[in-house]
């Protein structure tokens, strides 16, 4: 007698909430289009973009990458902890992820203050128009993510924690693409 093993439908394989994935894909499309537009505009003035980029603090942005990636780890560990019904550990991990999100925003705020003090604004150069637009929009997502992590830490059902962490990983994912394109590519 042969046994048939049913493979789940692809939609059932998708981890977490389908609507969260719709949000993740739509956010990736928005940021993806922004980064592609940035490189397309750079074609007309690569030297000007390189000179403008020299005003950025690459090491601080690199540190922020470490902060965000570590925050993502804590959020992912929180999902595992909630699945294991370790609620206190879940909340501590989510709090840690939120604090690192705030550290990211503080470093970003210092970066903006530094630019403002140097008289660099949105209209200084097209590079900075994209810089403020893309990093500012991303920072708004980080702030939203910190609030969401706080909410799912409070209402900590396994599904809420998984969805909140997925949003946070999307923020993480956008940054690992945005950071090299804006800060590192010469």
Partner 1 sequence: MLRNPLLRAWGLLIGLCLASTLVALAVERTSFAGLAATGAGATILLLAWLKARIILSEYLGLAAAPFWRRGFEIVLALYALLLLGLYTIPVL
Distance CA 186, CA 82 (A): 43
Interface segment toward partner 1; rule CB under 8 A; list 9-17, 100-108, 138-146, 152-160: 9-17
Among 52, 77, 94, 142, binds partner 1 (CB under 8 A): 77
Q: How near is the Cβ of 9 to partner 1 at its closest, in Å?
A: 10
Q: Applying CB under 8 A, which of residues 17, 23, 57, 73 lies at the interface with partner 1? A: 73
Pick from 15, 85, 88, 155 the residue near partner 1 by CB under 8 A. Answer: 15
* Binding status of residue 76 toward partner 1 by CB under 8 A: yes
Interface with partner 1 by CB under 8 A: which range of 34-42, 91-99, 122-130, 132-140? 34-42
Give DSSP secondary structure letters for 33-73: HHHHHHHHHHTT-HHHHHHHHTTS-HHHHHHHHHHHHHHHH
Cα gap 69→63, rounded to integer Å: 10
Q: Residue 167 in contact with residue 20, Cβ under 8 Å? A: yes
* Least gap, CB of 1 to partner 1 (angstroms): 29
Residues sharing a CB contact under 8 Å with residue 58, sequence separation 6 or more, in sequence order: 183, 184
């Amino acid at each position: 007698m042969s046994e048939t093993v049913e493979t789940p439908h692809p939609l059932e394989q998708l981890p977490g909430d389908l609507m969260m994935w719709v949000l993740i894909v739509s956010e990736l499309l928005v940021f993806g289009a922004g980064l592609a537009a940035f490189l397309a505009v750079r074609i007309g003035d690569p030297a000007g973009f390189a000179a403008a980029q020299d005003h950025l603090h690459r090491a601080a942005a690199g540190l922020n990458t470490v902060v965000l990636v570590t925050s993502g780890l804590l959020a992912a560990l929180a999902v595992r902890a909630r699945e294991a019904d370790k609620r206190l550990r879940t909340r501590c991990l989510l709090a840690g992820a939120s604090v690192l999100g705030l550290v990211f925003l503080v470093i970003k705020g210092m970066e903006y203050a530094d630019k403002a003090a140097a008289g660099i604004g949105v209209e200084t150069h097209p590079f900075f128009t994209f810089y403020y637009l893309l990093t500012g929009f991303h920072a708004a997502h980080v702030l939203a993510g910190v609030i969401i992590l706080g909410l799912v830490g409070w209402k900590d059902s396994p599904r809420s924690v998984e969805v909140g962490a997925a949003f946070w990983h999307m923020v993480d994912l956008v940054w690992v693409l945005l950071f090299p394109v804006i800060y590192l590519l010469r």
